[in-house]
Chains A and B, each alone.
Chain A
Amino acid sequence: MAEITFDGVTKIFGDDIRAVDELSLHVADGEFMVLVGPSGCGKTTALRMLAGLEDITSGSLSIGGAVVNNVLPKDRDVAMVFQNYALYPHMSVEKNIGFALKIRGDSKSEIKRKVGEAAAILHLTDYLERRPKALSGGQRQRVAMGRAIVRSPQAFLMDEPLSNLDAQLRVEMRLEIARIQRILGVATVYVTHDQVEAMTMGDRVAVLRAGKLQQVDTPQDLYDHPANEFVAGFMGSPPMNLVRCHVRPGDDRVEVDFGDQTIELPWHYTSSHELPASGLDVVVGVRPEDVIITDASSPNTIKTRVERREALGAEILVHLSHLDSSADALANEQGALRDISRRSSLVAKMGPRVQVAVGDVLSVQISPEHAHFFDATTGVTLRKRKP
């Protein structure tokens, strides 16, 4: 078991395709680190460099304190679970799981014992004699896991191991993998594009975009304090509302213009954030659950119109457009087209019993403690330091 350190690791494919750009990341011993990001963000390349399947263009990568840049995969003592499982089709489940041990030269009885233990953990004991072809998707996934855990390696590397499972199995295996990792306490790097997996499984989550590391944090910190617009939009479903607004920090409050409507946010934002003093555009972020319906008489509300409504059972997503005079004027002008949906600018997450219908005019409030501010040009958060 060992810690893993990426230090300025860069991967350039061909002449100028920077798949991974100056990645610095430390995975502590026993930590479950999730690499998440959209496809093509470099997360899989980073994992493959760690496995020794891809060369490192520059920077250094170490496992357990030793630089492994040019160490062969077989000498790195890491185990990898592949997206398509990559089970050896000509071997039984037992042989598949025990293969690495056999190569390593473990004795037959020892292999048998370790494979038995792994199979027990993964509920595969009854399938040891089968070929991969005769297994279900979930069972194959377990075999792939078994192949990794049986080795008690320095680290587990997992490349989207759940993406080929159906939704229900995925939830089940999500918990299962997290449970096993905690039992074994082996440092794990887990690659996924699914932010739900990232949130639920990782001790910490590293968000990548276009080869660049955006933020590394615990799932909750990532959610509560995204470092930039990208992370804010990527984590959470539906994503955070990001609206470009005019902001005027005052003495005892912060005024935010939504179109020609203005709301006030508590003054403490001016101390925790570096808000532009002279009322410049910033991007204000509000999570859908922080958009709250109130009655029109409440102060600090925005008048909105319901454009779309998605009932998801446990919650309702309401797509809102804020009404301002210009929009009203436009709607009036177009007469009959009045009812056609305009582009919504806010999504609100509401309880399942809330009665709303398309076309309703609602007054909404923004949960005063949960606003986010981002630089309108760089997208970086304006928050000063983590509180």
Chain B
Amino acid sequence: MSERSAHMSVMTSSAPRVRRMTLRRRRQVAGFLFALPAIALVVGFIGVPIGQAVYYSFTQWNGLTSTWIGPSTWAQAFHNSNLWTALENNALLLLAVPFALGLPLGIAVLLHQRVAGWRIFRSIYFLPTAISWVVLGLVAERFFAYQGTLNSIIHALGFSHVNTNMLGYESTALSALGITFVFTMIGTNTMLFLTGLATLDPSLEEAARIDGAGSWRIFRSITLPHLSRFIQLAFVMTVIALFSALFSLIFVMTGGGPGYATTTMEFLIYQTGFNQGDFGTAALYGLILFVLTGIVGVVQLRLIGSNE
């Protein structure tokens, strides 16, 4: 009813004052108001902390009181061997990325052959993706443990005197973490590649076959180029996960150890802040991580941008 009476007033009298805004202006105001909660949330909980991190990185900070130190905090931080260890661990873990992309690519190509029952296989392959990395970490710990599955397999293969304990040694713990990481990424990346393969026009492959190309040639010249965007996206997602999603695995499997053998940047931030109470340095490390992922993020944005 109120809308009707408002309508009547418009028809009889000249437009009231509130109605003076142009339609375009009104649309823009509505748009801004609609976007405002999202802007507020993102600015408040992501934007502002970035600024704060920059400030606090120059201070000594325990969470309650901060003392301005200045740029020397940065110089000091880069002299900290733990930082370099963590960066090195991150760099070494990058070696897992080819596997985290290559294996899913192979699996996706297998699935794409659509052998009987491929749909069931697909569901099975994707299933671990639903599980928390906390749980996968727990399982991985069982796998690598002294009495775990890995040793059982080795024994079953006849090497009964060999006993591994990969998580127990500084030399092997990071590899174990990397292997677990590859496993956790298989589902997501396979899903990506399979979607990519599904968009491949089968007549292209047909034509190439008629032209006398072999399977490998077709894969190299047709399938891979077609998948390039999907591979790029998977690469970016994998690297970002590597920098920022290993926390659960490390927390459950190694706690960063032995020593600092499996302490990556993100875990170092957590440890520095919450175990050592050095919030200032942790904030500084956070910024370093921010820059690292930012570089990857720019690639990602360009990927998205190239689509619009």
Contacts and interface: CB of A to CB of B under 8 A. Distances in A.
Contacts of B12: 66
Interface residues of B, number: 17
Contacts of A53: 23
Contact of B22 (A66, A70, A77): A70
A105 interface: yes
Contacts of A59: none
B79 interface: no
B15 interface: yes
B11 A64 contact: yes
Contact of B20 (A70, A74, A77, A105): A70
Contacts of A70: 15, 19-23
Contact of A72 (B1, B24, B26): B26
Interface of A is mostly: loop
Contact of A55 (B10, B11, B20, B22): B22
A104 B7 CA distance: 10
B4 interface: yes
Given A72-B26, A104-B3, A67 B14 contact: yes
B6 interface: yes
Contacts of B15: 67, 70-71
Nearest to A105: B1
A104 B4 contact: yes
A73 B14 CA distance: 16
Given A64-B11, A67-B15, A105-B1, A75 B6 contact: yes
A194 interface: no
Contact of A75 (B1, B7, B20, B21): B7
Nearest to A74: B3
A52 interface: yes
A321 to B, nearest CB: 49
Contacts of A72: 19, 23, 26
B11 A66 contact: yes
Interface in A47-61: 52-55
B89 to A, nearest CB: 51
A103 B19 CA distance: 20
Nearest to A66: B11
Contact of B10 (A71, A103, A104): A71
Contacts, number: 39
B4 A105 contact: yes
A52 B1 CA distance: 22
A290 B3 CA distance: 57
Nearest to B23: A55
A363 to B, nearest CB: 59
Given A54-B23, A72-B19, A66 B4 contact: no
A320 B218 CA distance: 59
**Which of A52, A55, A64, A73 neighbours the largest number of chain B CB atoms within 10 Å of its CB?**
A55
B19 A71 contact: yes
B93 to A, nearest CB: 47
Contacts of B22: 55, 70
A52 B19 CA distance: 13
Interface string A349-368: 00000000000000000000
A307 to B, nearest CB: 45
A105 B110 CA distance: 59
Contacts of A105: 1, 3-4
Interface string A126-145: 00000000000000000000
Contacts of A74: 3, 7
Contact of A66 (B3, B6, B10, B24): B10
Contacts of B1: 105
B8 to A, nearest CB: 10
A355 B118 CA distance: 70
Contacts of A71: 10, 15, 19
A206 to B, nearest CB: 23
Contacts of B6: 75
A52 B23 contact: yes
A52 B6 CA distance: 16
Interface string B1-39: 101101100111011000111111010000000000000
A70 B20 CA distance: 6
Contacts of B23: 52-55, 70, 72-73
B4 A55 contact: no
B11 to A, nearest CB: 5
Given A70-B21, A71-B15, 6 more contacts: A55-B24, A70-B15, A73-B23, A74-B3, A75-B10, A105-B3
Interface of A: 52-55, 64, 66-68, 70-75, 77, 103-105
7 contacts: A55-B24, A66-B14, A68-B10, A70-B22, A71-B10, A72-B19, A72-B23
Interface of B: 1, 3-4, 6-7, 10-12, 14-15, 19-24, 26
State the 8 A-B residue pairs at the shortest beta-carbon distance, nearest first. Answer: A55-B24, A55-B22, A75-B10, A75-B7, A55-B23, A66-B11, A71-B10, A70-B19
